[in-house]
Amino acid sequence: MKMDPLGEVYLSAKEIQGRVKELGKMISAAYRDKELVLLGILKGSFVFMADLIRYIEIPHSLDFMSISSYEGVEGSPEAVKILKDLDESITGKNVLIVEDIIDTGLTLGYLIRHLEARNPESIRICTLLDRSIRRIVPLPIDFTGFDIPDVFVVGYGMDYRQLYRNLPSLHLCDVRV
């Protein structure tokens, strides 16, 4: 008999939407009169990014990347592979990376170095969830929705085995089930 790993609500849809609205206002103020490109990291960030852009009150464009990270052979660092690259040039533009959750920072650190080689005006980070307790690579996160402890959550675009992305709230998930 298969048990459902979905647990109690960690953050309600109302709490999430309230904070996303605040982030949209902060981003609008920070980038007023600047050319802004929001860069969503697929797949997890797409729900957050869809809601966030509705609260950003200034003109902006969108692009997406898909990245795969995995541990290398024993004793070697994490390896990162770009599965989908940008469609447009970011040279001279202000790039705001939009993430669903930031954990160790290894993958995002790699991505930032990769993007810096394309000569953007600036690169900043917006994340819905920051699990800073697990950070290995220091990252300057400019816009944070919520700082969370070392728990596994699903919903609002985040998944467990490609399930639960559709939930409007975030739930604790027991991945041991």
Task: Give the catalytic positions in this structure.
Answer: 103
Question: Which helix (H) or strand (E) element contains residue 30?
Answer: helix 13-30
How many whole angstroms from its chain centre is CA 138?
Answer: 16
Helix (H, G, I), strand (E, B) or coil at 130: strand
In this structure, how many other beta carbons lie within 10 angstroms of the beta carbon of residue 145? 22
Distance CA 129, CA 110 (A): 19
- For residue 118, the one-letter residue type is R
The answer to whether 107 and 136 are in contact (CB under 8 A) is no
Distance CA 48, CA 67 (A): 17
Rounded (10°) angle between helices 13-30 and 46-55: 60
Q: Which residues pair with 42 in a beta bridge?
A: 66
DSSP alpha helices (H): ranges in 31-132? Answer: 46-55, 106-116
